[in-house]
Amino acid sequence: MSQVEHREFVNRFHQEKEYVAMKTFYTVAVVGLIMMSVGCASLPQTTRTGEIHQIGIGEDLSPAEITVKVGEEVRWVNSRSLDSRIDLLPVTLKNLSCQKGFTNFMGRMRESVSLKPNESASLCFSTPTEVKYNVRMGAGVPGREKTVSGIIRVTE
């Protein structure tokens, strides 16, 4: 093999290698996008029963304790002028039938969600359970954050 033929062979080899690398990259990217969209679509964002129970986040929680039926939606609404954060004690996707705001961009369940003023987040439960949570209410003054606890009882 002459030097010219060798160079042409090496150039073709590198071009094919780059082509395979780009094809692999695009394949992985497409598969990743499909997985993300499936993960986000795993739970509906609204209740199927139509019953919505609202928990207002103001100076306190209203109501702080609530009893709902399986499938009904519990919606937290931040009516404060400052941000608030809801921290759930362990909840898994298998206990939920719908959610809004409690998953990350890949569809994975988060146990906390931050709400800006007038924003809301919600959950629907698929099994009877008791869920405890804390709402951390931001303050305009450092160190003045207020934490209020709440309970959701889910019955048949």
Residue 123: predicted pLDDT? 93
Q: Of 90, 96, 95, which is closest to residue 43 (Cα–Cα)?
A: 96
Structure tokens at 125: 């439960």
Residue 116: pLDDT band with limits 50, 70, 90: very high
Q: Residue 93 and residue 38: Cα distance in Å, rounded?
A: 14
Q: Residue 80 and residue 84: Cα distance in Å, rounded?
A: 8
Q: Is the pTM of this model over 0.85?
A: no
The lowest-confidence range among 60-74, 97-111, 126-140 is 97-111
- Which of 72 and 30 is assigned the larger pLDDT? 72
Structure tokens at 152: 């959701």
3-state helix, strand, coil in the chain (%, to 5): 25, 40, 35
Residue 34 in this model has a pLDDT that exceeds 80: no
- Report which residue type is found at 21: A
